[in-house]
Amino acid sequence: MPDFDLSYVKDRIATESAFVDDLINEIGRVVVGQRYMVERLLIGLLGNGHVLLEGVPGLAKTLTVRALSDAIGTGFQRIQFTPDLLPADLLGTLVYNQKEGSFSIKKGPIFTNIILADEINRSPAKVQSALLESMQERQVTIGDTTFELDELFLVLATQNPIEQEGTYPLPEAQVDRFMLKIKVEYPTREEELEIMRRMARTGEQPDIRPVARPAQILNAREVLNELYIDERVEQYIVDLVLASRDPGGFGLSDVAPLVQYGASPRGSINLNLAARAHAFLRHRAYVTPEDVRAVAVDVLQHRIVITYEAEAEDVTSGEIVHRILDAVEVP
């Protein structure tokens, strides 16, 4: 990349990433801990990729997503997915006006900026497909009219990992459309104590002030394209993805029987984008192998389909990604 001007990009990064710390601090006024989840949501927002959140109820997933939308002053819709939800409830429908003898279009809640698809695996495949098509194509068709969605459009979906009765698990091909899959963990003892002190009282919680604008997010996305990523780091990303498809070729003969299918090319694309966003959050103008390693599990774990043998041995796809990270040489 001979025409790369590091000082120019550094200046741009300093200017365009100035809002990041304010954003994280503002969300921290209502969300205790969960820094990992907040950063991953920002990576999805900056990398223009949707995020799947998996965690038990009560871990502030909904609160965090709402706080994020309030902090950037943009539209937000929470949609509770249920077994009787219809695609029209999500996208909108044609309404017949009997007086005028004509149809008019009533848009659904998907026409906003940030969508929280709560418990997405509670709805059947027809509804899931309607949402995921909008995610991929960034457009919605109602009748014979097609509407473009806003440039700033992000789907943050949640699913409960413990209660599987009455659920419709997302097929692998649909899960692959999410840039990141985040396992939301319990808070630490100190965080739990702070949550109790802050939330175990009646009255309103602190309001979130807008500390960033949608235009700043869109500008930041443009800056991501200018971050320097060395060819060796690019090769490292490709090696990680190839190792998920052919573990034996990277000295992981014990892992090979555990993997049925590896990550798709979306894995390498999203790993590159997520690593860039991770570097941006740290105000850096270049991507390091550590940026790649930091986001690799969240980008790759839901793209690896494990075998029955892996299930029998209680080996998860996340553990397989960790083994790949340990085996593939870091540049």
Instruction: Determine contact, residues 56/160, Cβ cutoff 8 Å.
Output: yes
Q: What pLDDT, on the 0 to 100 scale, is given for residue 2?
A: 44
Q: What pLDDT, on the 0 to 100 scale, is given for residue 4?
A: 56
CB-based contacts of 251: which residues, under 8 Å, 6+ apart? 327
Domains along the chain with CATH numbers:
19-199+208-217 (3.40.50.300), 227-327 (1.10.8.80)
d(CA 255, CA 331): 22
pLDDT in tens, 102-148: 778 888 888 988 999 888 888 888 888 888 778 888 888 887 788 88
* pTM of the entire predicted model: 0.87
CB-based contacts of 164: which residues, under 8 Å, 6+ apart? none
- Give me the residue label for tokens 């990523």: 229
d(CA 79, CA 89): 9
pLDDT in tens, 153-195: 889 888 877 656 556 777 777 788 899 999 888 888 888 888 8
